Structure 1
Amino acid sequence: MLKGSKAHHYAQELHSARLKGLLGHGSRARSNFTELLRKYLKHNPTQSNTVQIAQDEYDIHAEILQFLEEEGFRDASHSNDTPEHIAFPPVMRKGLAFTERVEAGIERLAAAEREKELSIIDAATTVAMRAYGMFMLGLDDETTRLVAASRILESEPLARHTAPYTAEIEHHVALVILAAVMNGLALERSAAERGAERLEAALQSYARAIALHEQLRGTDTRHGGRAAPFVDEAERWTETALYRTALLTMRIRGDTQGLAALRAYQAKESRWPSTFRLPQRNVLRNIQTAHLNQARTVPTTHAAPGAPAVRTTSQRRVRTVPPTDKPTSAWSEEFTRIKNAVIRTLEQTASFPRADEPNVNAEKLADQLVLSWQLDGAQGMAGTDDVVDLLYGLTRITFRSQTLLRLLVHMLVAAEAYEEASALANKYTLLVETTWKAMGTPPRAREQHDGRGVDGVQEFLDTQLLVAHIEHTHLRDVARAHERVHHLLLLLGRVPAPEDEEMQARLPTIEADAALLARVLRAAGTTAFARARDTLPSRRKEAQDEALKHLREATQLDPDAAESFFALAVVLGQTQATPEALAAARRALELEPAWLDAWHLIVLLLSASQDFQGALDLADEALSQADADEARDAQAVAAGLPPTATRLVSLDYPPSARERSASYMRLFASYNTLVELTEGVQAALSGQRELFEAFRARFPLTPSAKAQKRAHEVALDTAPQFDPHGARELTETPAQARGAYRESVERRLLQTLWLMSAASFRRAGDHDQARDAIQEAENLDAFQPDLWVQLALWCLDAQKPGAAVTCLYKALACEADHVPASLHLARLLLQPDALHLRASHAETIAAVGTAQHGAEALTQQVLNDKGIGAELEDEARASNTRTLGAKLDRDDLGPVDPAFAWKNNPSIPPLSIAEGLLRTATLYSGHDVPEAWHLLAQFASQTGRPTHVQRSYLQTALRLQRARPVRSLREALALP
């Protein structure tokens, strides 16, 4: 037969079609294949055997394919594969129409082999397809006997041929590969009953399939260099052999050989389309990442001589502690390759999962990515942002995944995108609680339910507590944090259930172990005490007692938790229980000797005990110790090791390097205040140069907002786009949120230093330097109330009482309940002889209170106010204020005029305004400020209140003053 004849042409077309796998069972696919067989037989009338065998081959493939589709078995069925358990296709049961048709096809092929003389390829087809059918029917022993008897695996279909191979030869090789894979599958499935030695035989059979594929399309062959990825029967069954070889080798021969087999699989991936066998690829990628992470948990390099050790004495460990050695370059490169593979997967996967369909592989991969990020030292915000982007991308190929939402919350917190983390946590909460309610009983730890990963109590509470922490500490939203923690207490049954029956029906009931319950109680105590500040006196004591009860129980349940003792000391210190607070703070420092905030708290409590020299000495020791720790860490970094001397490994939420720097600066500021108190203002001013130098060393200049925006745009242009609408539509990226948050913290800290300096210069009598310092603070943020209070004090020293009043009103416009502004304004209003009132001053107050223009204009408006005349002085002296009342714990006190009432009624007497300011301060934010009660006593004296009322106010002021630290605990420790 001539090469160019139609007979040869259709013969090659038929082999090509069978090789490509025309396996569709629809009418169109069957019609096309039937037409091809007709044309082949027309031009090859003597090849009727080939036509019948090809038809049987097609029918068996089609029946099996349709059966698997109806059973729901597909690539995603391998998502839960592990080296110990690899999924097999379901067995075709007796009585099914599919089963009967496959059995009939097997019989026809067996008859053809017995009764007719067949070509080599036709004979190979009968063996391979019968083996395929028998395996699907569950006949494992029959399958292995058939393959062994036929000796098909010993054949060498390429022995007498050279590349380029024809479709006929390639089809022949694909058939032998299919027979080898079926033999391996049958041996593997029967190993549970017939002995583990069958697994080794299965590996040998798979190895034969892989070797044949390498001969056909290996890198040394002409077909090994095909540019475009493709899939045919040879590739399909070779992938199966490679996949199962990797998992089986890992099971019976160990991780080293198993990882080598896994890499052999990955070496072939570039030959296949991106969506081909994606679940199987992800299974192996997850296993590789898990082994990579497991290897990283054991130090792989030797520590440098003299490397610092962690100073923590507590044995408590809540968070994963990264290894202290530097990862090898090979490990880091492997981690980078895995991340790049995930990016390619996300870029090439366009379909969303089916409704209510989990993607276990995506969840496992997300877990391993986050663990790899932790083991890589969790260093570098660029790497953190990359992981956040990958997790968001993985949400596109999952459906209602609790795992991904939880990991996203944790990574967003690590990326300092706190608002986004808080918002996402609400979705996570709703999803978990809905699932728990459907299950009936929440699991104690993460488990699989209906093929979906369900977070347990441990994961849920850990995430909720993390979010409550950032809402309280970083977002400074006490109400939001308190509501979240109160909800946890409700779930744990620690507070009465709501009366709403519908709400009760929606809430699951959970249990927690002692350590986890201690963390919840610590958060409850911290947020409850912060909320108590804004409650009425009649309820404040109850709220404070409740907070102390929670915190004391937390320290009993987990006596190694430094954070619980620290929180207890803070609450005790703010309730004037100084001796007990000192004991708790010292315990916190014993557990975490490198914790700067614990040092700082003890310094403040010593000053509250009036031991100013002891507080100064301890602050000096704390700063020296912190410098020594940082020096040891610097040596470790130079030696290629991560810093460890400053690590607080027992804390639930250890401070970052920037947070530690901020703590250092706050401690340094308290030290400078103590220097001024014990050695004089000039000594404090001399030390403030070091204070500013320390700030610049720890907080380099922040890039401009414009530069940050441009960097973000460049990143968007080069980053993979997982969102179909583009990331530019997002309001804020983690990098932008982080930049804005850090800038605000640094700006506020620097402004505090400038205002401290201004106050010191003012007390030293250097008004020019004080004004310059105020100007520096003003340039940072003109809408901070502390700035306007300092400017008001400067104005008073400059004999500008009217301008001082305007400044204090500006401070109240910035923060309505700002205690220092309220008290200074009340003090001025209580001294009518020193303050000349005029009606036009109300206009200045109104203008400043609503001004939106820049800081310079506001300052000029203040300084140009020359004071006010005496038009209203007589009226002010003669006016009667409203009754204040002898008891401040009553909720039905009479009304008073608010501070800004002058904006609408200039005739309101100043004493009425002062009364409102003092009442508000002592009822709420200033209830623990001695000056507020002292001024209230002055007001009571001026208005002729009973002597016992005045005495009560003075006694309260004296009690608070005796336990007052050199700086407020809230201000010094940056508490919300």
Structure 2
Amino acid sequence: MKASKARHYTQQLYSTRLRGVFGHSDHPHDEFDEVLRKFLKHNPTSNVTAQIARDEWTLHLDVLKFFEKEGYRDASHANDTPEQIMLPPIMQEGSQLTEDLRAAVERLSIAEQQQELSITDVATTTAMRGLGLFMLGFDEEAARMIHHSRILDSDPTSLGSDSCSSQIEYHASQVILAAVIRGLALERIAMHRGDRHLRTALDSYSRAIALHDRLRGNDARRGGLTNGFVDEIERWIEIALYRTVLLTMRLQGSQKGIEALRIYQAKEQRWPSTFRMPQRNVLRNIQATQLNQARTSVPNGVAVKSSVPAIRTTSKRRVRPEPPADKPTSAWTQEFQRMKQAAIRALEQTASFPRADDSNANVDQLANQLVLSWRLDDESDAASADEVVDLLYGMTRITYRSQTILRQLVWMLVAADALEEASQVANKYALLVESTWQAVGVPINQNEMHQGRTIDSALEYIETILQVIYVELHKMKDVKRAHTRANRLMKLVGRFPDHTTADKEHMEGSLPTIEVSSEWLARILRAAGTTAFAIACNALPSRRSESQREAIALLREATQLDAEAAESHYALALALAQTQQCKEALISARYALELEPSSIDAWHLIVLLLSANQDYQGALQLAEAALSQADSDEAADAKIPMNGMPSRLTHLVSYDYPPSAWERGASYVRLFSTYNVLIEITDGVQAALENQCELFEAFRARFSVATSVPGQRRSRDVATDSVPHLNGNPIHELTATPAEARQAYRSQTERCLLQSLWLMSAASFRRANDLEQSRDAIQEAENLNPTDPYVWVQLALWCVDAQKPGAAVTCLYKALACETDHVSASLHLARLLLRPEALHLRASHAESITAVATAQNGAESLLNQSLLDEGIESDLVAEARKSTSLSLGANAQTAASGNVAPAFAWKQNPTLAPLSVAAGLLRTATLYRGYDSPEAWHLLAQLSKQTGQPIDIQRKQLQTALKLQETRPVRPWRIALAWP
């Protein structure tokens, strides 16, 4: 019984020492003392072993306390690279911890001289002396002592059967510890004496790994270790494996380093989730970097020329590196998926928020590599961007004020078409960067560090904000928000908009003025000019012309600073066209097309400019050539060549923000629509109707979301589906996921595009006197979006042709209720009101228009009063009140949707004539949104004639209408080109 207890407590002591200081509770010393007491009670002759165990325990505690005092922990390795690996700090003279550790080392040296020591005790004294000497800074002595002791040549797995399993494993832990300490000491020596010592250190680590393989490599039970702690064997072998990967990459190259990384990844399966997470993240980073380098490198023996795909771009300008034209191999894609899985596991396993002094560098680099991998995989796939967005949101939880993560998140949200969310994240990013700059200054170089965090440079900040400006202006159509950001950038580079002195002082803030190259300044000027021109179109009449001239001046300067930027020439051409400077616009548009011959929008702009010059036949031929080239380019890009790289004829590689395939499809359909209008002008309405079959087929071939159920979620990647907290809504619990936001954005865009096709078809059928087909087309458009004012305008025109003028008025006021300043609705209503004999009107129209314009919800405010005389209300308005738009003006049709109430409000006022309402409508239109509409000025001239205005006023209005008509394209500039 006595012998069994002695053996039991011997095993327990070895197990306690094997677990180590980290494997116990908050009071490890008390637990160890109790185990040691019981060991001595039942093994009274083992005093030397007990003393060695106590000194070992004390030494480990002293080292742990020193590390805590110095702040050395796993997170200290976050910035490790193959060229520079963090080493533990050295204990300095004069502290009590140093004296205690030195005393422990001396006691162990004395104990080692005794003859009765077991082989395990000898290994312990050697390993602990080596650890102590290393911590005290005696690296050469520690490495020499361990080498001469021959401890690394021992094999604990070959101990006799008298040894218990816990003793064998504990003995192995001391051999592994000694090997690791020798390697660390040699690394520190190599800092001053060269890399030859690193090769010896690598050999020492290899011995530790080989012993670990013999001990636990084939043990399935050990391989499945899932306890909440790791023992000394795993703790020290991780150091050996980690440093082996980095040193192998440094000394033997990336290929050998990846092989060592594979060994590390196989071993880490046995470790708990949070064990050595910073070091594991460093290796994930290296894996991602190597993966991306393998994707972008040119294989040996392959000519550089063959790796360049065929493109149409003639501009030499390149804003960012072009992704490889060839598709990634299946092995590369699978490795990318494994990397994302590893990142997901890391995020799942990291629950604590980082400390303020923790470095973000490792996670920042991993984020950069993940985004780069996505671009190298297939950056045109917005659905795959959702996975990277989820990962980046997860990374915000394990970093502290990371500008890199927020910047990459903005870019990936834009790539995923989660536009509003990208704009909101950009606000947080800008606030973080600007507040940091105010505290520490603007960094001169990229990747400048401050307190362990990377500070974005001025160019990184400008690049991100320019991207957000483009999104807000061209995709979200939020002109004011984009204009505010552009002015902020102008202020940053010392270029103030033309405001008053007070405005300038308000804008200045505390950010310094920075200098940028001419190319960067050109990009900022283009953004500022484009947003300023969009703002000017809705500016007060007294400021509009001047603001437009200022905006055009900014765009001209942008083209002068960067003559290779096709986007700047295109923006300038469009601005000139909208100010009736068509000859200059044509020159800029042609130059933009020369730089990027595959730009459908540039082709489209030139087509519109030719039509503005009344060269309809030339415009038709050019549109046909553009569509033909677009079709052939898309077909060529879709082919998989037998040899060489696939072509990229549709890619606008010089653009800052090249359109995606989806955006290019929308541009193609808009150009096709203009082509159809030109056919109707040149060949007649029947030819246009026949061509519309091809137009709808072209739409169907490029889009499918418009026919899906609104709000339906797209499937997500299986990898991120398994991570519930990553799929959570990041900004607010009501925020849509990127997939939902993308579907909503694209579905809305495609529905608007399809609706415009139905309305075009309805107008063609109406002009062909096929009112039945026209009415069906209007109904299709209404089904897509019943609140679009163009639906009701088109229905009003149908009612006029169907001899239903009262219903036409109803429809036009419905259009004004949907959009209170809608130009087309205002003009058509004014045209009807200029012929009051057609209707028996005697209502106060002016009050109605005021109510529409000022009410928060124009439609609801205009439902309770009467427009027409009581005598005819039952014939016209009552029918609209109880029917759908499908039955407006029809004799017998069944309602297919909800009721359409008359969207207007009136009070009886016989003193106000309809001409007064027409005057209000026309003056408002010509002052604001309809200032460039020749119909508006022509109707205003008619009104002036009917109301007896002076001849000079009439002449001026007619001259304005004629001038606008002379440079009017077949479709409005901004509608045809989807320009804000």
TM-score (norm 1): 0.91
Identify which range, 531-540 or 827-836, moves more after superposition.
Answer: 827-836
1:435-493 C-alpha deviation (Å, 9 max, x unpaired): 11001234453321111011111111111111111111111111111111111112222
Of 889, 898, 906, 1:863 maps to 889
Identify which range, 155-164 or 668-677, moves more after superposition.
Answer: 155-164
Identify which range, 264-273 or 770-779, moves more after superposition.
Answer: 770-779
User: Which residue of 1 is the match for residue 208 of structure 2?
Assistant: 209
- 1:68 deviates by 0.3
1:565-595 C-alpha deviation (Å, 9 max, x unpaired): 1100100111111111111111111111111
User: Which residue of 1 is the match for residue 669 of structure 2?
Assistant: 665
1:492 and 2:496 correspond? no
Distance change in 2, residues 1:153/1:330 (3 Å) = same
- 1:224 deviates by 4.5
1:17-58 C-alpha deviation (Å, 9 max, x unpaired): 111103589983212211221211121111111111111101
1:352 and 2:353 correspond? yes
User: Which residue of 2 is the match for residue 457 of structure 1?
Assistant: 458
- 1:843 deviates by 12
In structure 2, list runs of 5 or more residues that go unmatched.
853-857, 865-879, 893-902
Partner Cα separation in structure 2 for residue 906 and residue 787 of structure 1: 31
The answer to whether the 8 Å contact 2:74/2:279 transfers is: yes
1:293 and 2:292 correspond? yes
1:567 and 2:571 correspond? yes
Distance change in 2, residues 1:821/1:640 (3 Å) = farther
Aligned pairs for 1:254-653 within 5 A: 254-298=253-297, 309-355=310-356, 357-495=358-496, 504-636=508-640, 644-653=648-657
User: Which residue of 1 is the match for residue 833 of structure 2?
Assistant: 829
Q: Which amino acid aligns with 2:885?
A: T
Partner Cα separation in structure 2 for residue 395 and residue 923 of structure 1: 49
The answer to whether the 8 Å contact 1:485/1:524 transfers is: yes
Distance change in 2, residues 1:752/1:936 (3 Å) = same
Partner Cα separation in structure 1 for residue 233 and residue 910 of structure 2: 93
User: Which residue of 2 is the match for residue 886 of structure 1?
Assistant: none
- 1:401 deviates by 1.4
Distance change in 2, residues 1:923/1:444 (3 Å) = farther
Distance change in 2, residues 1:637/1:789 (3 Å) = farther
Partner SS state of residue 675, structure 1: helix
User: Which residue of 1 is the match for residue 873 of structure 2?
Assistant: none
Identify which range, 423-432 or 699-708, moves more after superposition.
Answer: 699-708
Partner Cα separation in structure 1 for residue 727 and residue 705 of structure 2: 33
- 1:711 deviates by 5.5
The answer to whether the 8 Å contact 1:721/1:727 transfers is: no
Aligned pairs for 1:743-822 within 5 A: 743-822=747-826
Identify which range, 623-632 or 716-725, moves more after superposition.
Answer: 716-725
User: Which residue of 2 is the match for residue 927 of structure 1?
Assistant: 931
Distance change in 2, residues 1:503/1:599 (3 Å) = closer
- 1:634 deviates by 2.2
Partner SS state of residue 54, structure 1: helix
Give the CA RMSD over aligned residues. Answer: 3.1
- 1:516 deviates by 1.6
1:687-719 C-alpha deviation (Å, 9 max, x unpaired): 111111111111236464378249589999754
Distance change in 2, residues 1:839/1:541 (3 Å) = closer
User: Which residue of 2 is the match for residue 876 of structure 1?
Assistant: none
- 1:604 deviates by 0.5
- 1:678 deviates by 1.3
Partner Cα separation in structure 2 for residue 104 and residue 754 of structure 1: 91
Q: Which amino acid aligns with 1:795?
A: C
Distance change in 2, residues 1:113/1:852 (3 Å) = farther
Partner Cα separation in structure 2 for residue 90 and residue 307 of structure 1: 50
Distance change in 2, residues 1:436/1:541 (3 Å) = same
The answer to whether the 8 Å contact 2:173/2:233 transfers is: yes
- 1:160 deviates by 3.8
Partner SS state of residue 838, structure 2: coil
Partner Cα separation in structure 2 for residue 34 and residue 621 of structure 1: 90
User: Which residue of 1 is the match for residue 947 of structure 2?
Assistant: 943
Partner Cα separation in structure 2 for residue 573 and residue 725 of structure 1: 44
Of 689, 695, 699, 2:693 maps to 689
Identify which range, 275-284 or 772-781, moves more after superposition.
Answer: 772-781
Identify which range, 241-250 or 816-825, moves more after superposition.
Answer: 816-825
- 1:965 deviates by 1.1
- 1:726 deviates by 9.6
Partner Cα separation in structure 1 for residue 84 and residue 228 of structure 2: 30
TM-score (norm 2): 0.91
Partner Cα separation in structure 2 for residue 634 and residue 451 of structure 1: 46
Partner Cα separation in structure 2 for residue 425 and residue 255 of structure 1: 37
Q: Which amino acid aligns with 2:189?
A: S
Identify which range, 189-198 or 115-124, moves more after superposition.
Answer: 115-124
Of 674, 677, 697, 2:681 maps to 677
Partner Cα separation in structure 1 for residue 312 and residue 714 of structure 2: 42
- 1:358 deviates by 3.9
User: Which residue of 1 is the match for residue 30 of structure 2?
Assistant: 31
- 1:187 deviates by 0.6
Identify which range, 484-493 or 111-120, moves more after superposition.
Answer: 111-120
Of 722, 733, 745, 2:726 maps to 722
User: Which residue of 1 is the match for residue 136 of structure 2?
Assistant: 137
The answer to whether the 8 Å contact 2:310/2:648 transfers is: yes
Partner SS state of residue 21, structure 2: coil
User: Which residue of 1 is the match for residue 120 of structure 2?
Assistant: 121
- 1:771 deviates by 1.6
Distance change in 2, residues 1:416/1:707 (3 Å) = closer
Aligned pairs for 1:51-62 within 5 A: 51-62=50-61
User: Which residue of 2 is the match for residue 869 of structure 1?
Assistant: none
- 1:196 deviates by 1.7
The answer to whether the 8 Å contact 1:681/1:764 transfers is: yes
Q: Which amino acid aligns with 1:765?
A: N
1:10 and 2:38 correspond? no
The answer to whether the 8 Å contact 1:157/1:169 transfers is: yes
Partner SS state of residue 812, structure 1: helix
Aligned length: 943
Partner Cα separation in structure 2 for residue 855 and residue 739 of structure 1: 34
Partner SS state of residue 376, structure 1: helix
Identify which range, 142-151 or 854-863, moves more after superposition.
Answer: 854-863
Partner Cα separation in structure 2 for residue 3 and residue 153 of structure 1: 36
Q: Which amino acid aligns with 2:290?
A: H
Q: Which amino acid aligns with 2:425?
A: L
Distance change in 2, residues 1:229/1:354 (3 Å) = closer
Distance change in 2, residues 1:325/1:22 (3 Å) = same
Distance change in 2, residues 1:661/1:713 (3 Å) = closer
Partner SS state of residue 539, structure 2: coil
Partner SS state of residue 448, structure 1: strand
Q: Which amino acid aligns with 1:246?
A: V
User: Which residue of 2 is the match for residue 881 of structure 1?
Assistant: none
User: Which residue of 1 is the match for residue 236 of structure 2?
Assistant: 237
Identify which range, 833-842 or 197-206, moves more after superposition.
Answer: 833-842
- 1:643 deviates by 6.3
Distance change in 2, residues 1:743/1:701 (3 Å) = closer
The answer to whether the 8 Å contact 1:63/1:102 transfers is: yes
Q: Which amino acid aligns with 1:523?
A: A
Partner SS state of residue 378, structure 2: coil
The answer to whether the 8 Å contact 2:309/2:645 transfers is: no
